[in-house]
Chain A
Amino acid sequence: MIAALVVVFRESLEASLIVSIVMAASRGIEGRGRAIGFGLMAGLAGAALLAAFAGKISSMAGGMGNEYLKATALILAVIMIGWHHVWMGKHGSELTGQTRAVGKEVQEGVKPLSALAMICAIAVLREGSETVLFLYGIAAEGTAGGMLEGGLLGGAAATFLGILLYFGLLRIPMKHVFKITGLLLVLIAAGLSAQAASLLVQAGLLPSIGYDIWNTSKILPQDSALGLLLHVLVGYDDRPMGIQVVVYVATLAFILTPSFWVGGRQEDRTARSG
């Protein structure tokens, strides 16, 4: 039972924390609950489908179907976060009420919501399929009793932490909240990119460029509570491969640079028209 609890907790923590950050990041956008709820359901349905076809998928692409699929999902999530970041750079001030005239696009909130719903769906889909597979395995083994309860407890514990984080983020004044959730999402995106890179190394598509660039597994192990939390929130890795460090930095640069451009251009325009 404890084993099931730990496995399910670990697998669902990332999804839970990402969803709560997305909830905080979408404050003030109408219909966010429905959109994110839809994202979660789509993610769960996708996870069940993935688990059902696990054998077929993993035998695709020369046995690397799973890696390619997961890496693609991760890269898609990174693109969505990048896009959200740029969008918030343009419309964030309207949401915080610093600008009185709320743009039509913000009121409708369609664009960022679809991106945010997709981020949630991918977060659930990714680890969800493995959790389903694991629980199915237990059920097939016929020892479902305590293990299933353990799994449910693990999921509940991860959800509880997500809710805690959400209410923590709610306490941040409106003025700063989008800066903080935005920064968190960008760091999460960099971490997801690094994970995608790791999958593609495993699939033989990318070189590792060295195994342990640093090794802090003795000081702050990645499977400790704090290590796991930092892994999810900022992409902390206690023994990264070279390619992961490269991709992490490149993603930060890639997402942050365009939003500087957009922000700069917008200020130019305002200055000229005013």
Chain B
Amino acid sequence: MRLLVSLAVVSTVLSGTAAFAADTPAVAIKNHAFSPETLVLPAGKRIKLTIANADKTAEEFDSTDLHVEKMIAGGQTATVFIGPLEPGTYNFVGELHKATAYGTIVAK
């Protein structure tokens, strides 16, 4: 388990830099952790966010800040609409693996 977590951390760090360049905002779930863990998105716009679950197990993408709750079966990709956001930070978690799966959206 500890190995999995450290792998997740490493993969998050590695993929974190690349994700900012993407046109459509997307996050991936792997080893019960999000990558990237921080997304910068435009404020005042409706945004389509894609979440790809690479784990075998289901995960619930959950954010009270973003008013979103979406169950994603293992190996599936899901989309949610969020916003328009006020500038600020919005937290999200993987409801089923809260200890390792969490992240933040920064609206600018």
Q: Which residues of A contact B (CB under 8 A)?
A: 3, 7, 54-55, 58-59, 62-64, 66, 130, 133-134, 136-138, 140-141, 198, 201-204, 208, 211, 217, 222, 239, 241
Contacts and interface: CB of A to CB of B under 8 A. Distances in A.
Interface centre among A54, A59, A202, A217 (most CB of B within 10 A): A202
Contacts of A58: 71-73, 76, 78
A208 B96 contact: no
10 contacts: A54-B76, A58-B71, A58-B76, A62-B79, A64-B79, A66-B70, A133-B71, A202-B67, A202-B68, A202-B70
Contact of B67 (A130, A136, A198): A198
A59 B76 contact: yes
B73 A202 contact: no
B67 A141 contact: no
Contacts of A64: 79
**Band of interface residues on B:** 20 to 34
A133 B80 contact: no
Contact of B73 (A54, A62, A239): A54
Given A59-B76, A133-B73, A211-B67, A202 B58 contact: no
A137 B86 contact: no
Contact of B96 (A7, A140, A211): A7
Nearest to B69: A202
A211 B43 CA distance: 13
Contacts, number: 66
Nearest to A223: B64
B58 A133 contact: yes
Contacts of A204: 46, 48, 81
Interface in B47-100: 48, 56-58, 60, 64, 67-81, 83-86, 95-96
Contacts of B78: 58, 63
Contacts of B57: 137-138, 140-141
B71 A130 contact: yes
Nearest to A51: B73
A170 B24 CA distance: 55
A222 B79 CA distance: 25
B64 A217 contact: yes
A237 to B, nearest CB: 10
Contacts of B64: 217, 222, 239
A202 B81 contact: yes
The 3 closest A-B pairs by CB, nearest first: A204-B81, A137-B57, A137-B58
Contacts of A140: 56-57, 74
A123 B68 CA distance: 20
Contacts of B84: 208
Contacts of B70: 66, 202
Contact of B71 (A59, A66, A217, A241): A66
Contacts of A201: 67, 81
A157 to B, nearest CB: 19
A58 B80 CA distance: 11
Contacts of A59: 76
